[in-house]
Amino acid sequence: MNVSQKIISLRGELREHNYNYYVLDQPTISDYEFDMKLKELQDLEKAHPEFHDPTSPTLRVGGTITKTFDTIVHEHRMYSLDNSYSKEDLQDWEKRIQRILGDVPVAFVCELKYDGASISLTYEEGKLLRAVTRGDGFQGDDVTTNVKTIKSIPLQLKGDFPPKFDIRGEIILTLEGFAQMNQERIENGEEPYMNPRNTASGSLKLQDSTLVAKRPLDCLLYSVVGATGIQTQFEMLEKAREWGFKVPTVAKLCKSTDEVLQFVEYWDVHRHDLPYETDGVVVKVNGLQQQDELGNTAKSPRWAMAYKFKAEQTSTVLREITYQVGRTGAITPVANLEPVLLAGTTVKRASLHNADQIAKLDVRVGDTVFVEKGGEIIPKIIAVDFTKRNPDSRPTEYITHCPECGTALIRKEGEAQHFCPNDTGCPPQITGRIQHFISRKAMDIEGLGSETVELLFKEGLIANYADLYTLTEAQVIPLERMAEKSAENLVKGIEASKAIPFERVLFALGIRYVGETVAKKLARSFKNIDALMQATEEALIRVDEIGGRIAESVVQFFAVESNRELVERLKHHGLQFSLSEEQLSNQSDKLQGQTFVVSGVFATLSRNELKKLIEDNGGKVASSVSSKTSYLIAGENMGPSKRTKAEGLGVPIVSEQTFLQMLTE
């Protein structure tokens, strides 16, 4: 056997032993034998660098230093999940599914919800190409070098894998591994880590991959994305196991929500027997075609729901109530608590939401309160222990003036929160709007963070987001913690943001109620900022899914002279305030006022491509057939009840080809 053959043979052996040990938990050789084989391979690769292989098992020991983690746009967006907390929530979800699919048989797959750091792994020709964190769902950080050190993640797949696909999962720390890490830290006189989830997430951003390799990280996978030919979620899990991924075997195929609830009830008790943390069950529609037909909302897939286990509770003392001012002027009361350990983290603060909530709970400073982590993330006060209340305590009086600028607060009829109306002179409102403007989903200005915005405002260099485009390196360099290179990157990042498309610039302006989805709809409908600024409430309401509240907010925003001046300044600096030529060339008003339902599998275009064509030509896409539906576009395997309902209502049923002809006429 020559050197090349020996290296290939050793790599194959080590991959198989790695899989047996870290995925199957069934080692076939001792740790010593494994280490000897790994050492032999390292020596051979060092002596013969011409046989370098990026998937070699030797790369798992780390050694690469990463100073900055590149931002990567996800080819397929990573959505978050809607939560449910009761049987009724699940049943309501099932009814919504049936309304869209048309009362067809639906099976569900139940999987445990792993409590870790979300990751997307891209494989090409069976090799790990890239590992990217979830980030904001649209883009995340490239952490490939660190992820390669995790032994349960295959660098080279086996079996009949597709040419290219993404697989999603969670990077976790087992409870045993976490305890071992903390024991070592305590012995070294260091502070122990607080919980496995945050420690796993932080591990992915360590600059030295050698340190990552020393941590007992694991990876549990649950979703394959891309063209795979797989028909169901359950088959997807089985295939992923065959390709070499660590996919927990606890997943169950259920025929009804009653079976789903049996799964939930079992694991709510037995989750404490697992080697890792879990905070609920994820329920998914099993058929991938049905998943595709159900689609997604702006934030979450309609075909999946997280059923959260009952949140942990504890009690502590309320020390003080303070008030925060948001970028819109909304006032949020905050409970400052005696620090208490809850669900693995130390809780010091909790939201009290608004004046009505304070009055409803009758919560007072000095009270012993019960605190719960809502959805295991945001702490909230759920009740007061009145048996421990001081008899001399006085009811909480909500503030009447802004804690930052002293302006008298207002509360509009029908709204829960108080507001500070001093939007041009209240510091947290000013900096909050600028921080929103530079955020990742808006202008995504590299080199500029929230703290730097606060500093620039404090030093008098900016008073609004238009001022950012007048900053120079010479102005920025003298600032605290700002080196020459940092100043250069900040100014470059601001300049680069001028290429951000119109819909994101519109979102960045910070108009109340205008989120990402609404901004896209307004941009598509009005084409440029001038048309939008002149639009009446009536014209705005005619846009799909734009209601009176949004319309009123948009009109009010552009009625303010200072806001119009800001837009003019941003125009002058070269920001994008109209759709691009390419976007305009693909759009028309041919389908204006018409509503379409798209159902089934199509020969020429995907369902999402059809939906985009409808919207690009002024039409509206609905999820279920109703009397307002103009056309049902029917593909193969469409649910029979949808056809029956359309026929009963007299809704025309057209094929994909007929629809495409409508666009060319």
113 is catalytic: yes
Q: Indicate if the pLDDT at residue 357 is higher than 60.
A: yes
d(CA 632, CA 540): 26
Q: Assess contact for 166 and 120: CB atoms under 8 A.
A: yes
The answer to whether 629 touches 646, Cβ cutoff 8 Å, is yes
Pick from 57-71, 81-95, 571-585, 636-650: least confident:
57-71
Q: What is the C-alpha R_g of the chain?
A: 28
Inter-axis angle of helices 175-187 and 196-203, to 10 degrees?
80
Q: Does the pLDDT of residue 375 top 60, yes or no?
A: no
Residue type for 533, please?
M
What percentage of the chain carries pLDDT values higher than 90? Answer: 49
Measured distance CA(217)–CA(577) in Å, rounded:
46
From the list 6, 37, 113, 148, the catalytic residue is 113
Q: Is the pTM of this model over 0.85?
A: no
Chain CA centroid to CA 277, Å: 20
pLDDT for the residue 377? 58
Judged against a pLDDT cut of 70, whether residue 306 lies above it is answered with yes
Q: How many CB atoms lie within 10 A of CB 161?
A: 21
For the stretch 172-207, pLDDT in tens is: 999 888 888 888 887 777 777 878 888 899 899 888
Exposed e or buried b for every residue in 410-437, given b needs 16+ CB within 10 A?
eeeeeeebbbbebbeebebbbbbbbbbb
Cα distances from 169 to residues 49, 229, 279, 469, in angstroms, run 33, 20, 15, 40
Determine what percent of the chain is predicted with pLDDT higher than 70: 97
CB 245 within 8 Å of CB 154:
yes
Helix (H) / strand (E) element for 165: namely strand 164-173
Question: Of 70-74, 183-187, 394-398, which gets the smallest average pLDDT?
Answer: 183-187
Q: How confident is residue 64, by pLDDT bands cut at 50, 70 and 90?
A: low
Residue 376 confidence (pLDDT) = 46
- Exposed/middle/buried for residue 505 (C-beta within 10 Å: 0-12, 13-18, 19+): buried
Domains of the chain, each with CATH number or no CATH: 3-61 (1.10.287.610), 83-302 (3.30.470.30), 313-388 (2.40.50.140), 427-499 (1.10.150.20), 502-585 (1.10.150.20), 595-664 (3.40.50.10190)
Residues 76/226, Cβ–Cβ less than 8 Å:
yes
